[in-house]
Amino acid sequence: MKTLEILARLCAVLAGVLLTVITLMTCVSLIGRNTIGTTLVGDFELTGVATGAAIALFMPWCQCRRGNIIVDFFTARASGRTNALLDRFGAFLLALCFALLAWRTTLGGLNSFNSHSETQILGFPEWTVYAAMVPAFVLTSVIALYQTAFGFADAPEAHV
């Protein structure tokens, strides 16, 4: 799990860097618009592209930290063993969902690459966003499978 956690942290750091760059770019664009009347061309396109990648890159760390929402209204009075089994089952379902997302995102990226799909203003290749998302989705699925098999002893539970 240590290797998976390190990879998840790297993904989260990369996502944080992307969001920081988006924030700085937005500030530059707004300052330019309000002071000298010019803006960065295509800033909203780059914001959308980077935000999509950042969201996907945060997912592995969220799963490592058990940061997904868990509704325990119906299981609050269940035994610890029952809750542990349900948590593992939930992790398994999440692993399946992220494996499906990885597969479909891969197909979408290949389709985007083959059709030379680009953003409208900058002509930024859309397949790069898919390429950033797929490894994060695969890593999230692998982390959830690990948690399904070995439980959550190594992963501190997030309290929200």
Q: In the predicted model, is pLDDT for residue 160 greater than 80?
A: no
Query: Is residue 156 a part of any domain in this protein?
Result: no
Average pLDDT over residues 54-81: 84
Query: Is residue 57 a part of any domain in this protein?
Result: yes
Distance CA 119, CA 46 (A): 9
101-120 pLDDT, tens per residue? 999 999 999 999 999 988 88
Tell me which residue range forms the domain holding 11.
2-150
Tokens at residue 60, please? 């592995």
Distance CA 20, CA 34 (A): 21
Query: Is residue 157 a part of any domain in this protein?
Result: no
Query: Is residue 58 a part of any domain in this protein?
Result: yes
Query: Is residue 66 a part of any domain in this protein?
Result: yes
Of 14-18, 54-58, 60-64, 67-71, the one with minimum mean pLDDT is: 67-71
3-59 pLDDT, tens per residue? 999 999 999 999 999 999 999 999 999 999 888 988 888 888 889 889 999 999 999
Query: Is residue 160 a part of any domain in this protein?
Result: no
**Residue of 27, 73, 38, 49 whose CA lies nearest to 131:** 49
Residue 42 falls in which region: left (phi positive, over 0), alpha (psi -120 to 50) or beta: left
Query: Where do we find the tokens 């930290």?
Result: 65
Number of domains in the chain: 1
Query: Is residue 85 a part of any domain in this protein?
Result: yes
Query: Is residue 89 a part of any domain in this protein?
Result: yes
Q: In the predicted model, is pLDDT for residue 154 greater than 60?
A: no
